[in-house]
Amino acid sequence: MCGIAGILQRRGTVELGALERMAEGLRHRGPDDRGIERIDAVGLAHTRLSIIDLAGGHQPLMTPERDLSLVANGEIYNYVELREALEREHGVRFATGSDSETILHAYAVHGLAALEHLHGMFAFALYDRRRGRLILARDRLGIKPLYYAVAGDRLAFASEIKALLPALPRSPALAPGAVMQFLQSQFSAGADTALEGVHRVLPGEAIVVDSELNLEHHRYWSPLDVQPSPMSEAQATEAFDGLFDRVMREHVRSDVPYGAFLSGGVDSGTLVGCLTRFQEGPVRTFSVGYAGADERGELAEAERIARRFGTRHRPLRLDRERIFRRIPHMIWSADELMRDYACLPTALLAEAAGRELKVVFTGEGGDEMFAGYGRYRPARATALL
């Protein structure tokens, strides 16, 4: 997890102090390094959590001519394959081993179409000096956050809203429409946040901003574009096995050790079983439970799976007071309205794992991908009628 922020002005040089304050607001996202650059009327800031190319991944990244500048958060999982293709087919020479540098050179070769080649979780800002434009882009599923606001003669962006505020002339008011949507549906979707004038870059979207702060929205991917497959269940199962293996091999590319959250469910248990095939030595796993709860629950099941795969397992048992004490910090961390109470134990578990590791795998997304929640069943039943 890194943090990115920046400002594009119609004219003049971006104030260094504003960039420093924005970067300071993201220090918790990137404690390993900080970088700030000002190019023309653009300022870019980055705070880094080092995962790949620990020594050479300083950002902002720039081409030798300084015509392209980049700050990025996240990871490009297929960067090795993209890098090899760019070197072989276009003669690109890389200056670092960073996966983020792949974004820079892929854009130089393919323009905005480079986004279609990126597999990963990412949010980035890229300044194209020759074309006089700033590009804000987010991964297909919106795993990594990116916010922006236009105020007067400047556009500001950041990984978190709290880091955006130092670039605004005043504190934004609440946006009644977004608040009403949250109260009705218990989540906030779309481009509008609960703060007036503060917007999200949407999942699968790139926003191109010119020197006059005109915005063009490009949707490069949508789940609605994915067409149903004619393959049988047996064919789909076989194809998934191969895909899952390939994806996991891409995900474990790292210059630091990794572990996994283990809940005792199918999702995280499958991940742990797969990780044991790729890592030398035991995988470190972490589980959370509650003091006084039935020990035959998920915590006991997680420990059984840990024994099965020979992991170095660390259970964490929480009491009510410890969870309640975490609420103010979670409100600060969330930036937006939210109702996912699971964030409280997850944050405490992440804190415990963070004392040993920078990277952990989780089972998040499995139920959404494979319709594991009960709310998906009525739609399936309707389709069968």
Give the pLDDT score at 189.
80
Residue 188 has pLDDT above 60, yes or no: yes
In this predicted structure, which of 29-33, 72-76, 291-295 has the lowest mean pLDDT? 291-295
Residue 383 has pLDDT above 80, yes or no: no
Give the pLDDT score at 50.
78
Nearest residue to 5 via CA among 178, 153, 158 = 158
Question: What CATH number was assigned to the domain covering residues 3-224?
Answer: 3.60.20.10
Residue 280 has pLDDT above 90, yes or no: no
Which residue out of 2, 72, 167, 349 is catalytically annotated? Answer: 2
Residue 296: pLDDT band (50, 70, 90) is low
Higher pLDDT: 255 or 71? It is: 71
Q: How many CB atoms lie within 10 A of CB 297?
A: 12
Most confident range, picked from 1-5, 293-297, 336-340, 373-377: 1-5
Distance of CA 167 to the CA centre of its chain: 23
Residue 359 has pLDDT above 70, yes or no: yes
Q: Distance (Å, rounded) from C-alpha 325 to C-alpha 320?
A: 9
> Could you tell me the strand order of the sheet in which 284-290 lies?
312-318, 284-290, 258-261, 359-361
C-alpha distances in Å from residue 228, one per residue of 111, 224, 232, 256, 365: 29, 10, 11, 38, 20
Instruction: Note the pTM of the prediction, 2 decimals.
Output: 0.92
Which token pair is 316?
A: 């964490």
Average pLDDT score over residue span 310-316: 95
Q: What is the pLDDT of residues 49-78, one digit of tens each?
A: 877 666 678 999 999 899 999 999 999 999
Give the pLDDT score at 279.
84
Is the N-terminal amide bond of 282 cis, ω within 30° of 0?
no
C-alpha distances in Å from residue 210, one per residue of 201, 217, 232: 16, 12, 48
Higher pLDDT: 51 or 244? It is: 244
Question: What CATH number was assigned to the domain covering residues 233-376?
Answer: 3.40.50.620
Residue 385 has pLDDT above 80, yes or no: no
Give the pLDDT score at 294.
57
Specify the amino acid at residue 63: T
Average pLDDT score over residue span 144-149: 98
* Continuous H helices in the chain: 16-24, 79-90, 100-110, 161-164, 176-185, 233-251, 266-278, 298-309, 320-334, 343-354, 366-369, 377-384
Q: Distance (Å, rounded) from C-alpha 219 to C-alpha 226?
A: 14
Give the pLDDT score at 295.
56
What residues does each domain of the chain span?
Answer: 3-224, 233-376
Taking the CA atoms of residue 144, residue 150, residue 154 and residue 158 in that order, the dihedral angle to the nearest 10 degrees is: -20
Residue 372: pLDDT band (50, 70, 90) is confident
Residue 360: pLDDT band (50, 70, 90) is very high
Average pLDDT score over residue span 219-245: 92
Give the pLDDT score at 12.
92
Residue 293 has pLDDT above 70, yes or no: no
Residue 379 has pLDDT above 80, yes or no: no
Specify whether 2 is catalytic.
Answer: yes
Give the pLDDT score at 39.
95
Nearest residue to 98 via CA among 158, 34, 48 = 48
Nearest residue to 39 via CA among 123, 127, 131, 130 = 127
Q: Distance (Å, rounded) from C-alpha 282 to C-alpha 327?
A: 34
The chain-wide mean pLDDT, for the chain, equals: 91
